[in-house]
Amino acid sequence: MEKLLWIETDKGAFLLTLPTGVETVVACRVMSPESIGTEAVAGTIRSGTVFSVSPVPQIPQAWRPPASDSIFVKYNDYYHRIPYRQILWVEASGSYCCFKLRDGKERVFSFSLSEVEPQLPGSLFMRIHRSYLVNLECIDSLIGNMVGVDKHRLPVSKQHRDELLSRLNILGNRKE
């Protein structure tokens, strides 16, 4: 199975398609830098394995690494720091959001889920339902249209199910 790797350079962002069996790129060079921005170009990995490089206009938010390891959320005059890894999921409740944390605590803030979603790294969090954002690293199980997170079951809408399945590393038969 091919793997995808994003690289950002001064010439733009590039998607590398690594062939099966290639785990990392130690060093690479672009063979045709003049074609960057128009068509896919070819490059080589130090071992001699050929891979393809495709220019992309912008790296999708879901693939960007987090700029830091936490989010600061304003509550009255106080900014509360919440590490991303501590957030199990975020649940919408009207114009409020409830952050469910690993230590069993909940933090409720007066922000809508649509305001919170772009502030969390898409590489760790995904909307699975109109009322839920889940930390992908905290999913314990997937049962039908539900995900298991820390002994809780959260609904997965039909609209988000295919993307969720594509973001999880699944071994075994999968019903489409």
pLDDT tens-digit series, residues 40-53 = 333 434 344 445 55
pLDDT tens-digit series, residues 129-176 = 999 999 999 999 999 999 999 999 999 999 999 999 989 888 876 665
CATH superfamily of 70-167: LytTr DNA-binding domain (2.40.50.1020)
Domain limits of the chain?
A: 3-59, 70-167
Distance separating alpha carbons of residues 133 and 154, to the nearest angstrom: 10
Distance separating alpha carbons of residues 11 and 37, to the nearest angstrom: 8
User: Which residues, 6 or more positions from 135, have their beta carbon under 8 angstroms from its beta carbon?
Assistant: 84, 85, 87, 88, 89, 124, 125, 149
- In this structure, the number of other CB atoms found within 10 A of the CB of residue 119 comes to 11
Of 148 and 6, the one with more pLDDT: 148
Q: Is the pLDDT of residue 32 over 50?
A: no
Q: Is the pLDDT of residue 120 over 70?
A: yes
pLDDT tens-digit series, residues 97-116 = 999 999 999 999 999 999 99
Q: pTM, whole model, 2 decimals?
A: 0.61
Distance separating alpha carbons of residues 125 and 107, to the nearest angstrom: 17
Mean residue pLDDT of the chain comes to 76
Of 25 and 42, the one with more pLDDT: 25
Half-sphere exposure of 50 (CA within 13 A, CB side): 3
